Amino acid sequence: MSSNRVYSGAVLGIDAYRVDVEVDMSNGFPAFDLVGLAEGAVKESRVRVRAALKNAGYPYPLHSRRITINLAPADIRKDGTGFDLPIAMGLLTALGIVSKRCLEDHLFIGELSLDGRLKPVRGVLPIAVMAREKKIRNLLVPRDNAQEASVVGGVDVYGFTSLGEVVEFLQGEYECEPVEPMLPEEQSHYEHLDFFDVKGQNHVKRALEVAASGNHNLLMIGPPGSGKTMLARRMATILPPLHFEESLETSKIYSVCGLLKDNGLLSERPFRTPHHTISDAGLVGGGVIPKPGEISLAHRGVLFLDELPEFRRHVLEVLRQPLEEHSVTLARAAVTLKYPASFLLIAAMNPCPCGGASNRCRCTTAEIQRYRARLSGPLLDRIDLHIEVPAVPFQDLSEKQRGESSEDIRQRVLNARRIQQDRFQDTYIQTNAEMGAQHVQTHCDVDESGLKLLEQAVNRLGMSARAYNRILKISRTIADLDGQEHIQNAHIAEAIQYRSLDRRYLF
């Protein structure tokens, strides 16, 4: 009889937990039992492992032994192909080919092909983070996953191309150095995008600057060809750079989805633009095996929803909770998962069903109201800025002088963010948009004349309490951009102008 334990890992949500692959081999009627709430891909590992061992030149003892493999903890469902390598190592250790001492302080993850080659798997980055937290010193992964795992630090990552290389490495017959993390790429993916390419629309650029400074959600309303998409795609060029911890947190989401590039860490804020035919599960996450959705892939970046009223209403309504809580919770019968979703929402829509092009619109008032009614009041309340984007006049189109660059705007955004960082340094808040009612009361104090201006706006526009707080938050951000400690009337007036859909009901 022979039994042993091999360390591995699995992903639950975007975090990983340690899995002990326990292998027991005994005499008796030949059988292969795999227990521990293993899903389909894990159960199929017995077929892949058998072929991989045979084709790599190692014996497979099924014809003469009873094999039992337990994936502990046994009360959590496990899926994926990453258990192939630890199962194979457990069998080889039970056969005496690999010493048990060689498995100490090692964690294995990887899929085996039928000829014994190692294939990459998803979720290696959060598993590397878990190995560091559990103080497991060595992580053995497929070579294609090695760079991804190496960025974590505090754990030695070794990349291999085949099962034979892993065995020879453990036996001391194959030399392999830990993988050095690759430096982030200096070349920007957004280098071909810059605000100086945008003709006119200075008031929209200003609104985007305010949105970037305070992390405020924004809705652009204008006819086709007015530059809404062009402006939205340049939003990422004026946002602050990703810090390491933010990059690591976002990269874990991409690792779980299998979307990480070769260097292993995202170096820039993501920009996601799902099509309006997306399902609610595609947007917020879910599925038979829950995976993060587009709002989590946009974490710490920008989520751009073009043609907003064309999205199905129930799909848009699921955004309400993530916009407030900056996370999404998926409750299933077997498990409840929480994915981060702290994103900047930029949305665009036409003013009417036909597009609202000047001198050609024939939409009736009722048709326009039905079109805009696709967006619920509670959802619009959660979008801080509503800005109209008119068609660009010929004079602006023919202007040869370039406008202000993204770098110039970004410097002002960074200055405003530094002010907010100092303001909220002892709290969990990072930007003005995240302020709760208590923080608004503390940091958005206005004088008597400012209160009268707000009172007039609230009474005439019929604003909700949430919209009132949004105006105060936007005013605070505008004051930060101006370097002012106190909110002034001009800041409040500008913030009111950014509630375009509210102002439509003035008359």
Q: Which of 365, 364, 371, 378 is nearest to 350 (CA)?
A: 371
Which residues lie closer than 8 Å to 323 by C-beta, 6 or more apart? 217, 345, 382
* Strands annotated E in 218-298: 218-221, 271-272, 285-286, 291-292
Residues 6+ apart with CB under 8 A from 77: 37, 39, 334, 335
Instruction: Give the CATH fold of the 195-395 domain.
Output: Rossmann fold (3.40.50)
Give the pLDDT score at 182.
74
The CATH number of the structural domain formed by 435-507 is 1.10.8
Q: How big is the CA angle at 454 (ends 451 and 455), to the nearest 5 degrees?
A: 85
257 vs 287: which has the higher pLDDT: 257
pLDDT higher than 50, residue 258:
yes
- Give the per-residue pLDDT at 297: 96
Q: Does position 208 have pLDDT exceeding 80, yes or no?
A: yes
Higher per-residue confidence, 352 vs 466:
352
Give the pairing type, strands 385-388 and 138-142.
Answer: unpaired
The CA distance from 347 to 272, in Å, is 12
CA distance 17 to 8: 9
The per-residue pLDDT for range 147-157, each reduced to its tens digit, is 999 999 899 99
- pLDDT tens-digit series, residues 43-59: 999 899 999 999 999 98
Q: Phi/psi of residue 269, each to 5°?
A: -65, 135
Q: Which of 64-68, 72-76, 135-139, 214-218 has the lowest mean pLDDT?
A: 64-68
Does 230 have pLDDT greater than 90? yes
80 to 41, 256, 410, 432: CA distances (angstroms): 5, 11, 42, 41
Provide CB contacts within 8 A for 248, sequence distance 6+: 125, 129, 151, 152, 265
Q: Which of 17-21, 384-388, 501-505 has the lowest mean pLDDT?
A: 501-505
Query: What percent of the chain stands above pLDDT 90?
Result: 61
CB 185 within 8 A of CB 166: no
- The reported pLDDT for the residue numbered 396 is 76
Q: Is 123 exposed, middle or buried (0-12, 13-18, 19+ CB in 10 A)?
A: buried
Six-digit token string for 307: 């043609």
Q: How confident is the model at residue 381 (pLDDT cuts 50, 70, 90)?
A: confident
List the structure tokens of 427: 């709290």
Percent residues over pLDDT 70 in the chain? 94
Could you tell me if 21 and 5 are in contact, meaning their C-beta atoms sit under 8 angstroms apart?
Answer: yes
Q: Is 505 a residue whose pLDDT tops 90?
A: no
Cα 430 from Cα 427, distance rounded (Å): 8
What does the mean pLDDT of the chain come to? 89
When computed from its CA atoms, the radius of gyration of the chain, rounded to whole angstroms, is 28
- Give the confidence band of 69 by pLDDT, cuts at 50, 70, 90: very high
pLDDT at 1: 47
What's at 361, amino acid-wise?
C
2-170 CATH: 3.30.230.10
β partners of residue 370: none
pTM (2 decimals)? Answer: 0.90
**Sequence-distant (≥ 6) Cβ neighbours of residue 481 within 8 angstroms:** 209, 210, 213, 412, 415, 416
Q: Encode pLDDT of 235-256 as tens digits.
A: 999 999 999 899 999 999 999 9
**Predicted pLDDT at 387:** 94
Closest-CA residue to 22 (of 32, 35, 31, 39): 35
Residue ranges per domain, the chain? 2-170, 195-395, 435-507
In this predicted structure, the answer to whether residue 315 has a pLDDT above a threshold of 50 is yes
